[in-house]
Structure 1
């Protein structure tokens, strides 16, 4: 039976009744009587105790635990909170001559700082330097064209520089809800020595990885393929990892990966069974374009909402080499205010098929994920 916690008002009434019962024949609860004040204080204290007990109850089970208590429950299953990641990018300096030393500090207009990665020489009046945010997190992510300034002047170098490769990849510390989702999955499906679920959970435990799929025997017997996406840190690339497919650095039986694939391959190498030959493979794009009749006069706001609904429908059903039902797209678009009366007259796929007919369900080629392309209104 669920315990029904009394409200503060109910506690005050209960304490008042107890005081009155303990002093029969006396009006002990006059408006400015000390006993009335003491009774209200006692009720408030008891209410605080009930609140503390409620909080303890939440921390005592993994489904509702918070902060360090959630991390403690997760640690019992080997799941740890993903740390924050520092953003990186490139800036272009101008000047007459000189060198921008490594660790040179740059500042953004809001006070956030970045440091130059390596010594960079000015050549023909221009220098392109890689930089890293001084603090991890999503706040330092910066768009192209933003101006940064040198914290300390350097002879021969202009004090202002321009972001010429967007500063991206910054991620905040994993939120409680995301950590809880991974933890509960581990409780529900504990590690079993290298099952498909194990590889997916291992990949999802790596900072930056948001979706992962395991493909047994991808390149024949004894091989395991892990396909993955990095929707946040690679948002400027549609969430698709950047690098080349392959195996971990320490693996001698295959071509070593590069970029994001290598980082994940090396992380999985410490977790995977020793006999498995694991290939990290970036998903590729299956661009889906739509032609819609009946909404040519719709407002820009409605069309923007339709585009978001289209992308959401594909994301909710996206599985490499999988199928995306047209009905899911139609249902999402139909929920948009102002979209009544539309008809999808054509669906095209850049790396897949549409069947039956030009407005059928979408099938993606091996290793590809459906992503929203353009919408043509007629």
Structure 2
């Protein structure tokens, strides 16, 4: 049965009862500010702190309540490691005098979100274009800067314009995995007997890559012996949650063209874990926007309600959609009902929406709120 941990007041009252119940001969009453009353408070506080420590020890004894390094220890027993933060990288193009060079380790301000350093020296070609690879200085999803963003040289470089443009989107940046997300992966590992190439194993491997939030498996998706793995990276990658890169296999697997960008990071990690005969192809789902028409809001057609509806429908598609899957009207109707709108009518879509093919994934498109 569970242990009912006494409160601080219950500890103090128990000590006072013991004092007046014969533990201390001749004591029949203890006043609030007497010496014994003060002792009772001090002893109660010590007992409460001891209980707190014992409670903390008990919580560290099982993975479903363990925290911090103790949870990581439970994960390590099953080969599950907390996803570390990672830094994004991409490329920036400047206009320059032909022959001008940007040295390696030059600091560049990228997209107004942070700075990065060039990873190699690059010399401008005869057309005056100079494209330099850049790695962000700090880790985190905020460093995933989209294509077309502005970039600035932090210090002038002879022959090179100070302003440039991101010509290869910055990808690969991810925040450190939060504790509850890590705990869910640890518990999933303990629920399984081992990893031998089951569908769930591929999903678990993909989710261990920094930035990956969802994954799905399509066995034999590109023919016998292939494992097609679709991944999403919805925590601030600047591309609507879809991976940035080309679909393909791991760089070391020469049976299929290698992936690039986010897909390559996932494929390379899985290559070290997968059964040797499987050809794993990592893909980004193909977005299939679903437009909504919502009418009849009447007095509820306010900016706040429109924003709440948009957020709610976005959440529906994040929870219910998958490559080639189906999202049913019951899902979005339940979400809209939860907003307690006085009135509304979903004019379109008129029924369930499904992915056109296995790789297409329904996502929220435009919303027309009508009159």
TM over 0.5: yes
Q: How far off its partner does 1:132 sit?
A: 2.0
CA contact (8 A) 1:296 1:377 kept: no
SS at match of 2:251: coil
The answer to whether 1:306 aligns with 2:309 is: yes
CA separation in 1, counterparts of 2:24 and 2:247?
A: 83
Q: Match for 1:361 among 329, 352, 357?
A: 352
Residues 168 and 233 in structure 1, CA contact (< 8 A), matched pair in contact too: no
Q: From the superposition, tell whether residues 336 and 83 of structure 1 become closer, same or farther in structure 2 (CA, over 3 Å).
A: same
Shift of 1:252: 3.0
SS in structure 2 opposite 1:237?
coil
Confirm or deny that 1:328 pairs with 2:341: no
**TM value normalised by structure 1:** 0.85
> 1:237 pairs with 239, 247, 255, which one?
239
Q: Secondary structure at the match of 1:312?
A: helix
Distance 1:173 1:194, change over 3 A: same
1:83 aligns with 2:84: yes
- Provide closer, same or farther for how the CA distance between residues 19 and 106 of structure 1 changes in structure 2, counting only shifts above 3 A: farther
1:311-352 CA-partner distances (Å, limit 9, x unpaired): 111221112111110121122123225x432222222xxxxx
Aligned to 1:188: 191
Distance 1:73 1:319, change over 3 A: same
2:55 match: 54
Find the counterpart in structure 2 of residue 372 from structure 1.
364
Distance 1:310 1:131 in 2: 36
1:106–1:336 CA distance, 2 compared to 1 (3 A): same
Measure, in 2, the Cα distance between the counterparts of 1:266 and 1:141.
20
Residues 325 and 355 of structure 2 are in contact (CA less than 8 Å); yes or no, is this contact kept in structure 1?
Answer: yes
In structure 2, do the counterparts of structure 1 residues 280 and 167 end up closer, same or farther at CA, with 3 Å as the change threshold? closer
Rate the CA distance shift 1:168–1:301 in 2: closer, same or farther, 3 A: farther
Q: Is the 8 A contact 1:169 1:233 kept in 2?
A: no
Deviation at 1:139, TM superposition (A): 5.0
Number of residue pairs aligned between Structure 1 and Structure 2 = 363
DSSP 3-state at the match of 1:183: helix
Q: TM-score, normalised by structure 2?
A: 0.87
Partner of 1:352: none
Contact kept? 1:246, 1:261, Cα under 8 Å: yes
1:1-378 alignment runs, 5 A limit: 1-20=1-20, 21-26=22-27, 29-91=30-92, 98-106=100-108, 113-121=115-123, 127-140=130-143, 150=154, 154-155=157-158, 161=163, 164=166, 169-232=172-235, 234=237, 236-295=238-297, 298-337=301-340, 339-347=341-349, 359-365=350-356, 366-378=358-370
Aligned counterparts of 2:248 and 2:142: Cα–Cα separation in 1 = 32
- Distance in 2 separating the partners of 1:50 and 1:265: 48
**Mind listing any 5+ residue stretches in structure 1 that lack a counterpart?**
348-358
Structural RMSD (CA): 2.9
Structure 2 segments unaligned to the other structure (5+ residues): none
Whether the 8 Å contact between 2:172 and 2:261 is mirrored in structure 1 is: no
